[in-house]
Structures are given as structure tokens and as C-alpha cells.
Amino acid sequence: MTTTRVEPAAPADQGAARRLGLRRLRVPATAGYLSALVVVSTVFSVLSDSAQSKVVLHASTNLHNLLDGRVSTLLASALVIGDVAGSWVLIPLLACLLALAELRFGALHLVRVFLAGHIGATLVVAGGLWVSVEAGWLPTSIRWAEDVGISYGAMALVGALVATVPPRWRWAWSGSWLLVSGGGVLLGQSFTNVGHLVSFCIGSIVGYCMIRAGAGTPRRLTKVEWGLLAVSVLLAVILLMG
């Protein structure tokens, strides 16, 4: 009878495993965007009320700015969170959502989904507002409405996360958020509520396309990712209720 002896892993192998784990936790796109948000929010917080209003109106993707050809607001609006106090609550929560999406989809796909939701929903809402104003259904003052923030991009990511949740939960995930965001439109009756619904739908379409293409990450969520998902749910609830 022979005995097989199992040698312990060499320190070098253990170090390589730890380095691999650290590389997997790197989220450069998340870190870059959050850094920009922190800088902008810090500067914004020290401005006077009148100066803050000017910044928000300048960065808003409202009809006045878009029809005036200021397409740069499509990106600038995602860097300004109008509520100073709320920004310091939203940014840490957003960090969890972005990190989870980047860990599962990669940096490039994270950026694509976020921008698709942010820009896509903005343009759809703007088109609806333009038609409504021209038809006389809404007052012309809505052309100068404040419209900045991270909610459209964030809701698109929430929709796309359907590609990461366990298969048996996918319809429940999409159906629940669709019901909540649709209810927000009926109760809130604001263009922001419509934007949340549109951006979620955009993200969901992307998520299901990923599933069909086999691009959805098949591996199970880790404990860290489950925690990030829980915080992401909290962020979505706050955005939809706000």
C-alpha cells in the first residue's frame, strides 16, 4: 500500500492567486467616473445658490439647450447631481452598481450601457417633450426645465443586470422593476419618471441580447457581488422614489 503525500501550495503560487484576485477586482471605469463625480460635486457644493442654478441650467439636457445645438450637455449632465446633500448619498451607492456591472461586463460594456441609457432616454424624453410643447399639451416653460443627474444611466445598468442574476430570477427581476418604474410614471407623471422607464427598458434589451448572444457571465455571483447587488437595488429604489 502506498501513501500519496499532498504538498502545500508554494508561497509563489499563493501570491500569484492573490494577484489574480486583485486584478479581477480592478474597476478603472468605475474609479474614473466616480472621481469625476466627486470633483464636480465638491466644487458644486461650495458655489452660491445662484451659481449652482446657473451650472445646472447650463448642463441640463432640456429642450432649450438641445435645440440650441448644445449636444455637449448629453455628457455634461451625467456629471452634475443637482442635490448637494443627496449627491454624497448617491455616489457611494452608485459606486456599488458601477463596480458590479464592470466586474460582470467589463469596463467598455459598462460605459456603453450607461451611455446608451443616459443618452437614449434623454433623447426619447426630449422628443416627447418637443411634440407635447408644439401640440400645446405642455407649457413652453418646460423648455428650460432642469434635467441633470445619473439616474438614467444607473437605471439602464439595473436593467442590464438581468444578464447576471440566476436564470430562474430573470423574469422576476425584469418584471418587478418594470412594474415599479411604470408605476412611477403613473403616479409621478413627470418626464423624469418616463426617462427612468425608458432607460430601464434600454438596459433590459441590452441585457437580454447579451443572454441570447451568450455574453452574460455564466459564473455565480460571489459574496462580494451579492453585496454589491443588494446596494444596487437600494440605489434603484431611491432613484425611482425620488
State what percent of residues in the chain have pLDDT above 70. Answer: 88
CB 232 within 8 A of CB 102: no
Residue 41 is predicted with a pLDDT of 93
Of 7-16, 52-61, 118-127, 221-230, which gets the smallest average pLDDT? 7-16
Residue 193 pLDDT more than 90? yes
Q: How confident is the model at residue 168 (pLDDT cuts 50, 70, 90)?
A: confident
Per-residue pLDDT averaged across 75-86, rounded?
Answer: 87
Does 24 have pLDDT greater than 70? no
- Per-residue pLDDT at 72 exceeds 60: yes
pLDDT per residue as tens digits for the range 89-111: 999 999 999 999 999 999 999 99
What is the average pLDDT across 4-32?
Answer: 56
Region 208-218: mean pLDDT is 73
Domains and CATH numbers, the chain: 27-241 (1.20.1540)
Q: Is the pLDDT of residue 12 over 80?
A: no
For residues 167 and 218, the answer to whether their CB atoms sit within 8 Å is no
3-state SS assignment for residue 194: helix
What confidence score (pLDDT) does residue 3 get? 44
pLDDT at 1: 44
Query: How many whole angstroms separate alpha carbon 7 and alpha carbon 13?
Result: 12
Distance of alpha carbon 210 from alpha carbon 204, whole angstroms = 10
- Single pTM value for the model: 0.86
Higher pLDDT, 74 or 6: 74
**Chain Cα centroid distance, residue 25:** 19
What single DSSP character describes residue 141?
G
Q: Grid coordinates representing 4?
A: 500519496
